[in-house]
């Protein structure tokens, strides 16, 4: 299966074209590296070849990066000494890129052949690392193209020379946003940043590349010449020293020390700038291997790339015909309904947005107008695009406008009676094949389906707020929900470019089932006399994006009160959170309803900017003289969530651990460094998890009781992924 082809024209310019079979975008694998290596040897040895153009056979892109499935398997296939096997394998790829860079030059930088990278569009990861090894980079003027090194976003860093070449080319300060933030640029911005050399009209790309190759250009890289000074200075240069002090503080401030890749990247740059270039590449390789050997990187790659992509492609989709949505009716034009209408219209779907009053429906549509205006101001959209998107939304009070809709998404007030009334009103105007979805975060789908004409065509679709920003959608099957309804929901979520998980009906489904105990555990500790700042910082230091007190401020305290009252009414004497309610209800009575009221567990200024924790909290619940260890607070906060995830799997609410991990990270930000709840347990080891839960149960109560499934996994000596794996094996026991 050939990935690279060679042609040589009459002027002696060889063109190497990368075209991975069966892929819409090139991705690199080991076979591709071997082919590229052989072709580079060939063109360098051929006296008839004066220079080389490296380009892509894919329209609008050069390459999407390394096949992360390969990276995920590298450690397993590296033999009895995986670190050495990985190091040797990665250094071999460095050798190929260094061969491109040196291009046949001798030790005195004489000879060699110019090699120009011609990028038709997007160049990510290894798709940029290879061009960085070339002598000149020309990109087509393609505003949709993205150029950058996003590896940090999936728990690794550019380890095929990109870290060293970019930092030596731009300096630590200039390379910082591209390496540490994974910032992607369009071609013009990439040129302004100094990443690439030229931007030309797409139709001129290869001609301009050939022109450069034949211009007898200087091809020696600056770092291969004597006396090269890295922009901004090395670590022990006065300016460079300050850069690295600031970068170290920034990395630790942003990652709280739980993301190993960022620290490793910075170490690679810091150490690499103090030695010759070839030694710097070895240092980069060693730090890269260090990260590949870290279970955190494997877990992040698995959850945030491999499993996320599998779910988006329909890993758990029933085998029924395509259910692409053409017309969607959104009932309720509040914040949630307005967001659903926006993302649907952006996806090219015709939208009917209905509310009781025309001004409410119009206000919901105006949300899309405001969003598009902001996009125009940031040059992310055009006035024409705005009109096109708005033209797809009909805001009305008339249910008759729903005729022809193939999907309804009801997003009205969280009340069984109100939802039942709306369901009946809607279905008086929709056809028998229309799927009815309710957007709810707490109400049982099976109960809500009783108001529908056909429970098989009734399903839950739980969006997270704000809809346009949150990437997860939780699809909930009622007892009688059919395959067509599930497929329709999954196909719709794919259309709006979000990630779906599919769960079975139960109280709070999956996401809220795990989020609420996290919030409650934080509040419970405050009542016990644990320093509120310790609670919040313990959460952040273990990788949670928000502490539990800040999270309840963001979601609103009165919503927490409503959920608590409804849960207590449903559970009766079995209700476990009375201690939490005391704090929550008191806060509500004090009028401290969270960010929306500019008063909650935190203080806020008149503009709504969050300040410090509210002093009145400690006055009401005095801080105890003896405080728990940081690790105990962290274990309480994490196990409050993780044990619910295990119970959800055990009870069949969750059917696939991939959905459990991906859903946790995308839905509420569960410690992304861990790969999700099940990956975290596998990193820790089930035996150790049982020890900790038994200790927590003895000290803090039955909410930390060890689930039978966790005990079984511990007894087996394996992990959750060993037992459930992927695909059919991922189904609950």
Q: Using only the alpha carbons of the chain, give its radius of gyration.
A: 28
Sign of the CA dihedral with 692 first, then 697, 698, and 701 last = positive
φ, ψ dihedrals at 404, nearest 5°? 90, -5
Q: CB count, 10 Å around CB of 417?
A: 9
462 is catalytic: yes
Which tokens sit at 180?
Answer: 């540490």
Report d(CA 151, CA 166) in Å as an integer.
14
Catalytic residue (choose from 462, 644, 659, 700)? 462
In the sheet with 51-56, reading across from the earlier edge strand, the strands are 4-8, 13-18, 51-56, 115-119, 136-140, 198-200
Q: State the SS3 of 271-296.
A: HHCCCCHHHHHHHHHHHHHHHHCCHH
φ, ψ dihedrals at 234, nearest 5°? -85, 175
Sign of the CA dihedral with 118 first, then 120, 124, and 125 last = negative
φ, ψ dihedrals at 196, nearest 5°? -120, 170
Q: CB count, 10 Å around CB of 415?
A: 10
Between the alpha carbon of residue 316 and those of residues 301, 311, 727, the distances in Å are: 20, 7, 8
Catalytic residue (choose from 439, 441, 520, 679)? 441
Report d(CA 549, CA 542) in Å as an integer.
15
94 is catalytic: no
Which tokens sit at 561?
Answer: 């009160």
Q: CB count, 10 Å around CB of 189?
A: 16
φ, ψ dihedrals at 687, nearest 5°? -60, -45
512 is catalytic: yes
Catalytic residue (choose from 129, 151, 350, 474)? 474
Question: Percent helix, strand and coil across the chain, each rounded to 5?
Answer: 55, 15, 35
Catalytic residue (choose from 176, 185, 504, 512)? 512
Report d(CA 4, CA 33) in Å as an integer.
9
Q: Cite the active site residues.
A: 441, 462, 474, 512
């Amino acid at each position: 299966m050939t990935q690279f082809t060679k042609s040589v024209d009459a002027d002696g310019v060889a063109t190497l074209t990368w075209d991975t079979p069966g892929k819409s975008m090139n991705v690199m694998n080991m076979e591709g590296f071997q082919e590229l290596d052989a072709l580079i040897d060939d063109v360098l040895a051929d006296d008839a070849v004066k220079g080389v153009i490296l380009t892509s056979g894919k329209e609008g892109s050069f390459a999407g990066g390394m096949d992360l499935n390969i990276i995920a398997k590298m450690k397993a296939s590296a033999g009895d000494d995986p670190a050495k096997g990985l190091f040797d394998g990665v250094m071999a790829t460095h050798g190929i890129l260094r061969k491109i860079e040196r291009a046949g030059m001798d030790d005195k930088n004489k000879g060699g052949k110019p090699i120009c990278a011609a990028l038709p569009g997007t160049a990510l990861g290894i798709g940029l690392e290879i061009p960085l090894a070339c002598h000149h980079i020309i990109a087509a003027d393609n505003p949709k193209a993205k150029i950058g090194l996003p590896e940090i976003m999936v728990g690794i860093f550019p380890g095929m020379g990109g870290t060293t070449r970019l930092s030596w080319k731009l300096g630590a300060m200039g390379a910082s946003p591209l390496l540490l933030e994974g910032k992607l640029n369009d071609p013009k911005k990439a040129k302004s940043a100094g990443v690439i050399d030229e931007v030309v009209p797409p139709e001129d790309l290869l001609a301009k590349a050939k022109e450069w190759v034949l211009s007898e250009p200087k091809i020696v890289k600056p770092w291969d010449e004597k006396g090269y000074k890295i922009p901004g200075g090395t670590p022990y240069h006065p300016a460079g020293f300050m850069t690295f002090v600031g970068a170290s503080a920034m990395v630790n401030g942003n990652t709280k020390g739980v993301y190993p890749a960022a620290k490793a990247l910075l170490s690679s740059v810091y150490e690499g700038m103090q030695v010759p270039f070839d030694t710097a590449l070895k240092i980069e390789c060693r730090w890269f291997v260090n990260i590949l050997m870290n279970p955190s990187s494997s877990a992040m790659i698995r959850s945030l790339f491999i499993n996320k992509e599998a779910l988006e492609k329909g890993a758990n989709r029933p085998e029924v015909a395509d259910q692409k949505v053409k017309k969607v009716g959104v009932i309720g034009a509040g914040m949630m309904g307005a967001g659903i209408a926006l993302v649907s219209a952006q996806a090219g779907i015709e939208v009917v947005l209905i509310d009781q009053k025309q001004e409410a429906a119009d206000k919901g549509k105006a949300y899309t107008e405001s969003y598009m205006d902001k996009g125009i101001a940031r040059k992310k959209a055009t006035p024409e695009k705005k009109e096109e998107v708005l033209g797809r939304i009909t805001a009305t009070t008339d249910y008759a406008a729903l005729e022809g809709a193939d999907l309804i998404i009801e997003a009205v007030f969280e009340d069984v009676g109100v939802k039942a009334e709306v369901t009946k009103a809607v279905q008086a105007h929709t056809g028998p094949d229309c799927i009815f979805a309710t957007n709810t975060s707490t109400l049982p789908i099976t109960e809500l389906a009783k108001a529908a004409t056909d429970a098989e065509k009734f399903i839950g679709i739980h969006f997270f707020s704000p809809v346009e920003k949150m990437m997860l959608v939780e699809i909930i099957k009622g007892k009688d929900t059919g395959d067509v309804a599930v497929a329709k929901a999954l196909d719709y979520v794919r259309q709006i470019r979000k990630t779906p998980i599919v769960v079975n009906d139960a109280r709070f489904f999956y996401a809220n089932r795990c989020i609420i105990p996290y919030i409650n555990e934080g509040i419970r500790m405050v009542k016990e006399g644990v320093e509120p700042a310790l609670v919040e910082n313990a959460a952040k230091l273990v990788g949670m994006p928000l502490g539990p007190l800040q999270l309840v401020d963001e979601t609103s305290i009165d919503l927490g009160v409503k959920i608590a009252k409804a849960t207590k009414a449903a559970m009766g004497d079995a209700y476990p959170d009375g201690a939490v309610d005391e704090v929550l209800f008191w806060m509500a009575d004090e009028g401290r309803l969270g960010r929306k009221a500019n008063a909650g567990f935190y203080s806020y200024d008149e503009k709504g900017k969050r300040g410090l924790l509210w002093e009145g909290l400690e006055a009401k619940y005095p801080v105890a003289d003896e405080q728990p260890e940081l690790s105990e607070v962290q274990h309480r906060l994490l196990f409050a969530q993780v044990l619910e995830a295990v119970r959800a799997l055990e009870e069949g609410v969750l059917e696939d651990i991939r959905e459990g991990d991906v859903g946790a990270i995308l839905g509420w930000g569960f410690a992304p460094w861990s790969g999700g709840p099940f990956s975290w347990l596998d990193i820790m080891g089930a035996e150790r998890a049982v020890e900790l839960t038994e200790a927590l149960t003895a000290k803090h109560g039955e909410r930390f009781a060890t689930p039978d499934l966790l005990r079984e996994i511990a007894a087996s000596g394996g992990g959750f992924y060993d037992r459930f794996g992927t695909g059919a094996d991922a189904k609950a026991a």
